Amino acid sequence: MDANMVLALGLGMRPPWRLVGQRLDTGKQPHELHLDVCAERGSLFPCPACGKACKAHDFAEVTWRHLNFFQHHCYITAKVPRTDCPEHGVLRISVPWAREGSQVRRAEARHSKLPKALRWAILKRADGRLTEAQAAALAELEASDLFTAIAWRIKEKLRWVRQAQSVQAARWRITNFLRHASEILDPDPILDPIRKALATVETHSKRILQRWTSSHSNARLEGLNGLFQAARARARGYRNVTTFATMIYMIAAPLGDLFQST
C-alpha cells in the first residue's frame, strides 16, 4: 500500500475519484499538505437529484480545507463536474471528502457582504499567524451580527476546551461550552451545521475526554510511522502485507523486556 492509497483511504475516496498528486510545503508553519484529486477520464457521475449515472457537462476547480493529516494543514484541489441529467438538468455533484452543506460562511456569503480576506482567516486561530488583512477581517467579523460571527465564536470557544490542563477541567469546560454555544445560537436554519456539530460534541463527550488520559498523541503516531518506514527501507519494499506487518511487530515490540522477564 503506497502513500497515495493511504491518503485516499483517509479521504474516504472511491472510484471514479483518485489521488494524482501530493505536495508538502515545509516553508510554512504549520506545514501544508496539498492533495490533487481527479476523476477517471470518461467517468459517469450520479445525478444529485435522482442518482442516475450521467455524463459530465463541465468541470470547475474547487479547493477545500480538509481536516489535518497528523500536524499538517491539508488542502484538497479537484475539478468537480456538473452532471447533465435528462430529467433534472445540469447540477453540481457532491464529493465524498466534503460534507454536504458545510462552514456557515459560504451559505451566508450568497446574500450578505462579508469582510474581505475572511475565507482563510476564520480557519486560523484568533491569536495565530494572521496577515494584516486577515486580522482586520476577523476584527470586523467580531464586531458584526453576522451568522458567520456566531459560528466563529463557537469555534474559538471549542479551542478553549482543548486547552484544559486536566480531565476534570476539560469536563467542566465541555459542559460550559455546550451551554454557552446553545445560548448564543440563532434559530435560523443557516446555523444548522453548527447545531449538528454541537450535538456530535455532546454525544461523544466521553470519548473526547479520553484525550487527557490516553497515551496516544500525534508525536507517538509520528514515531510509529518512523518505525514503519524503517521496516520498509530494510526490506527495500515489500510484496506481502502480512510479512510487512510482521516485520513492524518484530521491530516495535519490546522483545528485550519480554526475554528479561522469563
| DSSP codes joined into one string, the chain | --HHHHHHHHTT--TTEEEEEEEEETTSSS-EEEEEEEEPTT--EE-TTT--EE-EEEEEEEEEEEEEETTEEEEEEEEEEEEEETTTEEEEPP-TTS-TT-STHHHHHTTS---TTHHHHTTS-TTS---HHHHHHHHHHHTS--HHHHHHHHHHHHHHHHT-SSHHHHHHHHHHHHHHHHHH---SGGGHHHHHHHHHHHHTHHHHHGGGT-S--HHHHHHHHHHHHHHHHHHTS-S-HHHHHHHHHHHHS-HHHHHHT-
Judge whether residue 100 has pLDDT over 60: no
* Number of domains the chain contains: 3
Q: Average the pLDDT over 26-33 and give the result.
A: 82
C-alpha cell at 67: 481536516
- pLDDT tens digits, 224-245: 777 777 777 776 666 677 777 7
Judge whether residue 186 has pLDDT over 90: no
pLDDT score for 105: 64
Judge whether residue 110 has pLDDT over 70: no
Taking the C-alpha atoms of residue 80 and residue 50, their distance in angstroms, rounded to an integer, is 18
- Both 74 and 147 in one domain: the answer is no
- Both 148 and 238 in one domain: the answer is no
pLDDT score for 51: 86
Judge whether residue 74 has pLDDT over 60: yes
Q: Which domain holds residue 11?
A: 1-98
Judge whether residue 154 has pLDDT over 80: yes
- Both 86 and 158 in one domain: the answer is no
- Both 208 and 222 in one domain: the answer is no
Partnered with residue 91 across adjacent β-strands are 83
Among 176, 197, 214, the domain-final residue is: 214
pLDDT score for 173: 93
pLDDT score for 101: 47
- Both 45 and 149 in one domain: the answer is no
Q: Average the pLDDT over 130-148 and give the result.
A: 79
- Both 156 and 200 in one domain: the answer is yes
Judge whether residue 109 has pLDDT over 70: no
Q: Average the pLDDT over 17-29 and give the result.
A: 85
Judge whether residue 33 has pLDDT over 60: yes
- Both 200 and 231 in one domain: the answer is no
